[in-house]
Structure 1
Amino acid sequence: MTQHFPTRQLRFFLTAPSPCPYLPGRDERKVFAHLPLSDGAQVNDALTQVGFRRSQNIAYRPACEACDACVSARIVVPQFQFSKSERRVLERNEGLTRHIVEAEATMEQFDLLRRYLMARHAHGGMSDMTWPDYVAMVEDTAVRTHLVEYRTTSADGGPGDLVACVLVDLLADGLSLVYSFYDPNQPKLSLGSFVILDHVVQAKLQSVPYVYLGYWVRGSEKMAYKARYRPLEVLRPGGWVAYEEPVEGPELSDEQE
């Protein structure tokens, strides 16, 4: 079914070239538009179908002149069968509890994010994120969104330490993982993989067909893990198609996140 949205409300802009964070020696450009406050959720749904991602109240997608390595990727939930290694990831995290909370930033979340960034992306574009930046990332939105917190269980049976968190958009046809972060000192739990797999579980329970993973970048080790979740669809010029290349590499681990 073709989706329609009020394009007259949208003005698209093109960024200047800047160094690509995924492929050394290349430049990136993005096209972006501000999501309208009145029907931002519907516009976000429609733009996601044509390869855009959301950051706060901005929808963007790559518009590089000499490279098309970045492609949108989504897990096809109804046909997804958990592999042995994926089931082990879920089993290792059975002691965690999931809590859906409003899209409101907390200092506890921000502290976890800072530890994650310093351990995993110390030289990345988000490494200098401040508290106001984080508040804006979480709260500056006009779409259907929430946070999912994953916690240990305390001695008295209540919620314990926050070990993982993810910002999730609720789309008409699935769940879009906007940004996730986790305790970098728990590598045996494979928390990055667990967050994705748990949302496949939730999508199955909610009977929605897709979990959107953002961009998979061919040739980028940082993004290679996304191609391991099968069945996977990627967005090509003619529309969404099945990604069928062989799965290569070791079993799931946080080293892929």
Structure 2
Amino acid sequence: MTSSLRDLKVYTTYPHRCSYLEEEEATTLFIDPRQSVDQTLYSNLSMLGFRRSGNHIYRPHCSHCNACIPARVHVNDFKANRSQRRCLKRNRDLEVTIRTSVSNDESYALYDRYIRARHADGDMYPPDRDQFESFLNNPWDCTEYCEFRAEGRLVAVAVVDMMLDGLSAIYTFFDPDETTRSLGRYAVLWQIERSRSLGLPYVYLGYWIRNCDKMSYKSDYQPLELLINNQWQRSTEGLIETF
């Protein structure tokens, strides 16, 4: 670890209700929000399992649970399975535009519909414009907003951070009525292909949580690497069953 990382100040929250596992309490470790952050520091922290939400960089720091495991896809070795190939084929009509801001009425209207339909039991319900913009902002000028359109109509937005060694999938929201397209899955597949085209080796998917359906899907993208005991390891059936 470099001296710049060792010198960072961090803070922990008080234990609070876990957003992913009902029976667990969570504690979160945050980088000092006054810390000056650039793409290099942000990339190094991501390699250590940190994520971002708005301007805040964090990772789980729970005393009795290690269920949240950082995960990334090794894109050069990734091969789509049959289901993923079908997903790619279903969405080959979509046009993608990359923007530097998400602060527009069209994107927020889609986000509002998505949260109300898919996450009415979550922390982001009810949706709020200020929360939307602060959560998905571009704090260090490395965020892209990838708009997916079908015949001109916005059907999905993938929020992606550009790292030194890959892309970080921050959040995706999409038209909840477009169920046959599997837009969440397609957004990940698209980011894998984009990372490969840019010559970047990884797509960071956040935390894999085996007993949480909202997070366990990440094991579908193989080869998946998991950060175990501060070492990135290729996932295997035995490794996944251990956690």
Aligned partner of residue 99 in structure 1, secondary structure: strand
Please, which of 14, 17, 20 is the counterpart of residue 18 of structure 2? 20
1:194 corresponds to: 186
Match of residue 174 from structure 2: 182
Q: Which residue of 2 aligns with 1:5?
A: 4
CA RMSD of aligned residues (A): 1.8
Cα distance in 1 for partners of 2:231, 2:32 equals 24
CA deviation after TM superposition for structure 1 residue 99, in Å: 0.5
1:203 alignment partner in structure 2: 195
Q: Deviations over 1:172-205 (max 9, x none)?
A: 0000001111111011000000000011111111
Seq. identity, % = 36
Question: Which blocks of at least 5 consecutive residues in structure 2 are unaligned?
Answer: 239-243
CA contact (8 A) 2:116 2:126 kept: no
Aligned length: 239
CA distance in 1, matches of 2:42, 2:158: 18
For 1:144, the equivalent position in structure 2 comes to 142
Q: What secondary structure does 1:139 align onto?
A: coil
1:218 aligns with 2:210: yes
Report the equivalent of 1:33: 31
Aligned twin of 2:74: 76
Cα deviation 1:185-230 (Å, max 9, x = unaligned): 0110000000000111111111110011000112111111111110
- TM-score, length of structure 2 as denominator length: 0.93
1:165–1:182 CA contact under 8 A, matched in 2: yes
Moved over 6 A (4+): none
**101-110 or 197-206, which moves further after superposition?**
101-110
The Cα offsets for residues 111-157 of structure 1, whole Å up to 9 and x where unpaired, read as 1111111111101001123111112123351241110000112xxxx
Question: Could you tell me how far apart the structure 2 residues matched to 1:194 and 1:49 are?
Answer: 24
| Distance across 1 between alignment mates of 2:106 and 2:138 | 19
SS of residue in 1 equivalent to 2:23: coil
SS in structure 2 of the partner of residue 113 of structure 1:
helix
Deviations 1:49-91 (A, max 9, x none): 1110011111100001100000000011011111121111011
Structure 2 counterpart of 1:231, which letter? P
What per-residue deviation string (whole Å, max 9, x for no partner) do you get for residues 20-54 of structure 1?
11111110110001466754222111110111001
Counterpart mapping for 1:231-242 below 5 A? 231-242=223-234
2:4 partner letter: F
Distance 1:140 1:118 in 2: 24
Q: Distance in 2 between matches of 1:4 and 1:81?
A: 38
2:56 corresponds, among 58, 73, 76, to 58
CA contact (8 A) 2:210 2:216 kept: yes
